[in-house]
Amino acid sequence: MAEFPRLKTGALAQDGLECGYRTQTEVLRYVDGGQQAVKTRRGRKHWTVKLERLDEGELALVNELVETVRGETGTFAFTDPKTGVRHEACRIEGGSFEAYVAGLGDGRAELKIVEEID
């Protein structure tokens, strides 16, 4: 099972991490004014991991994860940096990974991750 790599500092993420919970509910309105809320999909957690000051080795590890899971296709384990809870099946949203290296030891990357629920 692929796993989101730890940085050399041992951290899973840096400041700027965004996390949230996404649900999908439809609200049906009836002619008599009544309404009914229907949950159409189970809720799932999502994160935006923003990484800065990475060296080329760390950037390569993140790139390797994206290639290993084939972008949005496969899943990997991700430990929520905020709660410490390990989520066994997560995937990358968007399928793209942009690595930007401004200078030596100054690599930057951003990944959107979403929990996958069967």
Partner 1 sequence: MAHFPQLESGCMGQYPLRRTLSLRTYSSESPGGKRRAAFDAGGSTVRWKLPLTGLSESEAEAIQGLFQASDGRRRSFMFVDPFANLLGGTDDLAGTLWEKGPGVVVAGGVRGPDGQAEACSLANTSGVWSGVSQALAIPEAMNYCMSAWVRSAGGGSVKLSIGDAQRVVETGSEWRQAWVSGVDGTSPVQFMIAAPAGETVEVYGPQAEAQIAPSEYKRNRGRGGWYPRARFESNELNLEAEAPGLYGCEVAIVSPWEE
Residues at the contact surface with partner 1, assessed by CB under 8 A: 40-42, 44, 55-57, 59-61, 63-64, 66-68, 70-74, 95-104, 106, 116-118
CB of 12 to partner 1, least distance (A): 17
CB neighbour burial string for 75-113, b if at least 16 within 10 angstroms, e if fewer: bbebbbeeeeeebeebbbeeeebebeeeeeeebebbbeb
Beta-bridge partners for 26: 38
Tell me which DSSP letter residue 3 carries: B
CB-nearer residue toward partner 1: 19 or 99: 99
CB-nearer residue toward partner 1: 35 or 73: 73
CB of 105 to partner 1, least distance (A): 8
CB of 5 to partner 1, least distance (A): 10
CB-nearer residue toward partner 1: 18 or 26: 26
CA 1 to the chain's CA centroid: 16
